[in-house]
Structure 1
Amino acid sequence: MYRASFEPTAPGVYRYYAVFSSDNEETWVSSEENSVTVYQSNADTEPPAAPALGGLLEESGRASLSWTADDESIAGFDIYRQSVTDAVYRKIATVAKEARAYTDFTVNNDTTYTYKVAAFDQAYNRAFSEPQTVTPRLVMIDVTLRLHLPDYTPTTDDITIAGGLQWLERVVDQADGAERRDHTRGRGILVQDDGGQVDSV
């Protein structure tokens, strides 16, 4: 016999059933559906203090949430999200009362999402944070490599950099103090100064 349990976080009607497979998930069989109705007690109607959701950083392929909450009556947190195509907020996760952060990996870059965090107590009272909005995007960063080479290394030598670098920029300091910027695809060209140090790749 198999057993399972779940804990509702809000009043309402919950329908549940079990599914199982005996052929390595080729086919599935479902049990009969049952339901349970959860009611909110009238003895406790005081919600916990609302959590304070911090600002969201622009990242690629994810949205990282963090919040503060100090109310000892909090039993857990529900995470809600609304995209530009959603008419209402949708609950995407429930986390423990000790949690103060959550990362949503089910986002698409260049799509705007708005989040709220709800703190709930044992009586299903809840309080929502203020909303925070973020648009995940592919984040580009500038990287400068500074290397020390032996003095006998020819200044005309090239170096191949392993990895997935698509474009590298070479910054060359001219004698007159001006910069010349060259681009190369897939490899960096070393420029050695008087001290045997590669200035930038």
Structure 2
Amino acid sequence: MSGPVSGSVRVCVFCASGPVPEPYLALASDVGTAIAARGWSLVSGGGRVSMMGAVARAAREGGARTVGVIPEALVAHEVADEQSDELVVVGDMRTRKGEMDARSDAVLALAGGLGTLEELFEAWTSRYLRMHDKPVVVLDPDGHYDPLFAWLESLRGTGFVSDRGLAGVVRTTTVADALDALAPGPAPSAVSGSR
């Protein structure tokens, strides 16, 4: 297992790639700006639209290196972030996740739908299974994930979700807290900043 190296952190950001309200785009931009301000780099899903595009543009504007990993089928739909410092085109979604994982030191999930949830749960489950020790952080300033976390908490002690499983993710409500939780060093307490 390997975690972030000291110094520059390669942050994999999972987030919405479809139409969302403006405050979510602003949050994604704030995250990209903050990643750049720390001298870190961004690994994203390689799209130039919605939150995915906003985080990448802001990171680049701040001087961060951006790596996009996108399936070939989405390139054909003309949504690829051609401005990425490195755009990796892969055959399918499974290969995309593997490439994003291999190129990152930490995982940050912002608001998203089915794709974001699937990516978050794979990273979270892999951490629980000790397949990696990268920080897995959810930035949720407005309660987007409240119903999900309430449901997961309700499963605690039932045999379906363990305390250690729930401890595999850190939940935050501010950009600064999220990036602090991604930084190298002692692991922050799980589900910090939760409601």
Which of the two has greater strand per residue?
1
TM-score, normalised with respect to structure 1: 0.25
Structure number, greater radius of gyration:
1
**With CA pairs under 8 Å and 6+ residues apart, which has the higher RCO, 1 or 2?**
2
TM-score, normalised with respect to structure 2: 0.26
Which of the two has greater helix per residue?
2
